[in-house]
A and B are shown apart, each in its own frame.
Chain A
Amino acid sequence: MHWWLPPKGSTFAGPIDGLFIAILIITGIAFVVVESGLIWFIVRYRGRPGRKAFYTHGNTRAEVIWTAIPAVTMVALGIISNHYWVEIKGRNSVPPDAYPIAIHAKQFEWQVTYPGPDGQLGTADDFTVRNQLHVPVGRPIVVHLSSEDVIHSFYVPQFRVRQDIVPGMDIRAWFQPTVAGTYELGCSQLCGLGHYRMRAQVFVHTQEEFAAWMKQAAQEATQ
C-alpha cells in the first residue's frame, strides 16, 4: 500500500504533483493553525467557576488580515493553476506532431483504433483492438474520444489524465508518456452495471518496440 500519489507516468505528472504539493503545504499550514488554535482555546478558555468571558464584538484589523491573506493566496493559486490548465487542456494545447489514436467507448469496453503504419487516422490501414492501448514512450499522443451510448471517462492515474467521453461530442485529449511499462485504463464515470469492469491494459513501449508491435498488429488485423 502506497500512501501517496501513483508513480509519475507522463509529462503532466510533474506539474500536477507539484501543484498538489503546493496546495498540500498551503492547506497544511491552514489546517495546523486552525486546529491547534481550536485545541489551544478549548483548553485555555475552558469554563471554570468565577471565569468571566471577555466582552468584545470583534476587531476590524484582525478581520481584514484574515480576509486578505486567503484572498491573495487563492488568487495566486488560481493564476498558477490556470497556467498549467491551459497547457494541459487548452483548446490549442495538443502538440501538432502528436500521434493520433481513436478510442470509442461503449458499455463496457474500449475500442482502440490505431492509425496503422501510415500514422494517419481515417485511412484504409487503420485497425481496431479491444481493451488494449499501446503507445510509444516520449512522444505526445492525442486520443480522439467518442462514445457509443452513455458518458464514460478516460482515466489513467499514472498519466494524471482524465477526460469524460460524451456521446454526440468529439473530444480530444493528449498526454506524453515518460516511462515504459504497463498501466491500467479505467472508466471513471458511472456508465451502468458493468462500470467496475470497464478496464483496459495500457502498454507504453519504447519507440522500437512500438514500431515492431505496430507492424505485427497491422499484419494480424489484415488477415
Chain B
Amino acid sequence: MTTVAATAHGAHAHHDDRPFIRKYIFSTDHKIIGIQFLFVSLFFLLVGGLLAMQMRWQLGFPGKPMPGGGILPETMAPGGVILPEYYIQLVTMHGTFMVFFAIMPLLVGVYANFLIPLKIGTHDMAFPRINMWSFWSFFAAGLVMLASLFVPDGAARAGWTMYVPLSARHDLSGASLGQELWSVSIILVGLSSILGSLNYISTIINNRAPGMTWFRLPLSVWSLFITAILGLLALPVLSGAAIMLLFDQVLNTHFFDPAAGGQALLWQHLFWFFGHPEVYILILPAMGMVSDIIANGSRKPIFGYHSMVFAIVAIGFLGWIVWGHHMFVSGMNPTLGSSFMVSTLIIAVPSAVKVFNWMGTMWRGNLKFTVPMLNATAFVAMFVIGGLSGIYMAATPVDMFIHDTYFIVAHIHYVLFGGSLFALFGAIVYWYPKMFGRMMSERWGKVHFWLTFIFYNCTFFPMHITGMAGEMRRLYDPNQYTFLQPYQPMREFISISAFLLFATQLIFFVNFWWSLFKGKKAEQNPWHDNGLEWSLPAPAPHGNWEKVPNVYRGPYEFSHPQAREDYLPQYVKLPTDREPASAPAAAH
C-alpha cells in the first residue's frame, strides 16, 4: 500500500493532466497563483502610473489641454483640460491603485505565494483552495475599483486615506457610486489579504522541510512571515472601517458624521491603525528579498543574520504603536503626539541596523552587478534617503510645518518607489527564470535600471524642496498661492522627469513580455544561489519536489571555505553534515 501511495504521489508531482481551466485559471498551485498576481498587479501598476502622468500634466502645465486628453468625457477634462474634480479623483485613485493593487500584491501576493513553499521546501501552501480564493477576491476587488473609474459621478475623490466626513457624505464630495465602490473594493482587498496571510503563516509554521529550522530560513521568508502577521492583524481593522464607511454612505448610519453625533477622528485612528502596519507590509518583503539578492550578489553570507531577523521582528512590532504620527496635527491630544513621536523615532534603530548590515554584507565581497544586484543596491541607497527624511516628520514640531506638504510626498515615494519598487524590479528579474524558465534580457535590464535611477531621482528629489517651501499636497493648481508661483519651473521639471520615468518603464514591460517567449532558456541555478528553489528545474513543476530535499545549513553560505564553488546550497550534504531529524510536521 505504502509503495502504491508513494508512486501515485510521484506521478502527481510531475505529470500534470488537469484541464486548462484548473491548471491556469482556477488553479490551486501556489506558483500559478503567484504568477496570476504578478500579471494582474503589473497591469494595475501601469494604471496607477497612467493616473500619475495625468496629475503631473496638470501640475507641470496647468490649464493646458493634455495630449490625448480629448478622449476623456466633458465631466473630467473638457477639451483635454483637467477639471479640479477630476484632478482629485486622479490623486485618490493613483494612491489607491499603487498601494492596494500594485505594490502590496506585487510584494505579498506574488512573492509570498511563489517563494514561501519553494524556499521552505514543501509541495504547496497549507490551504491551497483558500489561496485560490485569496487571488480571486483580489481580482474582484480590482475589477470593482477599475469600474469605479467609469461610473457617471466619477471615482472616489477624498484621497487614498478617505478622510471622513468628506468621503462619507456624498453631498460634500460630489461623488456617490464611486465612493461606495471604493469601500466595497477595499472590503474585498481586506478579505484577500486575510485569506493569504493565514495561509502564509500556517505554511511557514507547519510545512518546513526537514532541517529547515527557524534560523535557517532565508530573510525573505522571515520578512514575509512577519508581513503576514501584520496583514492578518491590520487588514480586519481596515475592512471593518470600510464596512462602517459603506454603511455611512448607503444606510446613513453616521458612524463618522459629527453633524449627527459621529466622530471624524475615529476614521483616522482606524485607518492609520491599519495604515501604518501597511507601510511595513509594503517594505518588509522588499527588505527580505533585497537581503537574499545582496548576499548572492556579494558572494558573502549576510552580515549579522540574527540581528537582521530581530530587526524585522522589531520593525513589525514597533509598526503597531506608531500610527498616531500621521495625526500629530489632527486635533488628537498633543500628549499622545509625544509618545507616538518617541516610538516613531525608535523605529529608525532597526532600520539603521538593516542598512548597516547590508553594507557589512557588501564589505570585502566579490560584487557581481547583475540586474537584480543593481536594483537591490539602489534599494539600499534610496531607502536610506526615504528613511532619513522620515526623521523630519517624526519630530513633532518639524512635522507641524511639513505635514501635508510635498516633503511627505517625496518621503513616501522614496520609500515605496525607491525602496519597494526597486526591490521588485530586482526580485522580478531574479526569480523570473524559476517562474517562466527563461531569463530576462540583461542588457535591457541595465538600460532600464540606469534610466529609472536617474529619472526617479529627478522626479522625486525636487519635491523635498517644494515641500520645504510649503507646497501643500493635493492642490489642483498651486499657482493660486503667490508664494508657490516661483516654483512653477520646478514643477515643470518634475513633470518632464516623471514622463521620462514612465516611458522608461515601457522598456521593462517590453523586456518582461518579450523574454516570456524569446528570452534565453534558463539554467537550473543561473545566479549560483543556495536556496531550495534552485534545486528544481526551471520552471518549477507542479507539486515542486517529488520528495522535499533535506536542509543542512543556512541560506547564505557563499564563499564557504569547505566548498569548491563560491556557493554551498542548503540542500547539498557535505561529508561532515548530519542528516536532519524528521520534518517539523507532515509536509503534504
Contact = CB atoms under 8 A, between A and B. Distances in A.
A5 to B, nearest CB: 6
B509 interface: no
Q: Which of A58, A91, A169 has the most CB of B within 10 A?
A: A58
B385 A31 contact: yes
Given A57-B305, A167-B264, A168-B264, A195 B362 contact: no
A168 B259 contact: yes
Interface in B364-381: 364-369, 377, 380-381
B115 to A, nearest CB: 23
A169 B164 CA distance: 14
Nearest to A197: B480
Interface of B: 84-85, 88, 91, 157-159, 163-166, 169, 172-174, 258-259, 262-265, 298-307, 329-331, 333-335, 337-338, 341-342, 345-346, 348-349, 352-353, 355-357, 359-360, 362-369, 377, 380-381, 384-385, 388-389, 391-392, 395-398, 400-401, 403-405, 465, 468-470, 472-478, 480-483, 486-487, 489-490, 558-561, 566
A37 B478 contact: no
Nearest to B390: A27
A23 interface: yes
B391 A23 contact: yes
B342 to A, nearest CB: 5
Nearest to B301: A57
A124 interface: no
B338 A190 contact: no
A103 interface: no
B475 A19 contact: no
11 contacts: A16-B400, A27-B389, A47-B368, A53-B566, A57-B301, A75-B346, A78-B341, A89-B334, A167-B259, A186-B472, A195-B474
Interface stretch (A63-71, A113-121, A136-144, A212-220): A63-71
Contact of B397 (A15, A150, A165): A15
A77 to B, nearest CB: 6
Interface of A: 1-6, 12, 15-16, 19-20, 23, 26-27, 30-31, 34-35, 37-38, 41-42, 45-48, 51-59, 62-63, 66-67, 70-71, 74-75, 77-78, 81-82, 84-86, 88-91, 107, 149-151, 153, 155, 157, 160-169, 171, 183-184, 186-197, 199
Given A45-B363, A66-B353, A155-B472, A193 B329 contact: no
A15 B353 CA distance: 30
Given A56-B303, A192-B173, 6 more contacts: A6-B469, A38-B362, A53-B558, A57-B305, A190-B473, A192-B88
B215 to A, nearest CB: 12
B483 A166 contact: no
A222 to B, nearest CB: 32
A127 to B, nearest CB: 26
Contacts of B157: 192-193
A13 to B, nearest CB: 9
B172 A150 contact: yes
B470 A164 contact: no
Contact of B330 (A47, A48, A164): A164
Contacts of A30: 352, 384, 388
A127 B560 CA distance: 81
B301 A27 contact: no
A35 B353 contact: no
Nearest to A91: B334
Contacts of B353: 63, 66-67, 70
A175 B430 CA distance: 54
B397 A171 contact: no
Contacts of A31: 384-385, 388
Given A35-B384, A41-B359, A188 B307 contact: no
Contact of A59 (B166, B265, B360): B360
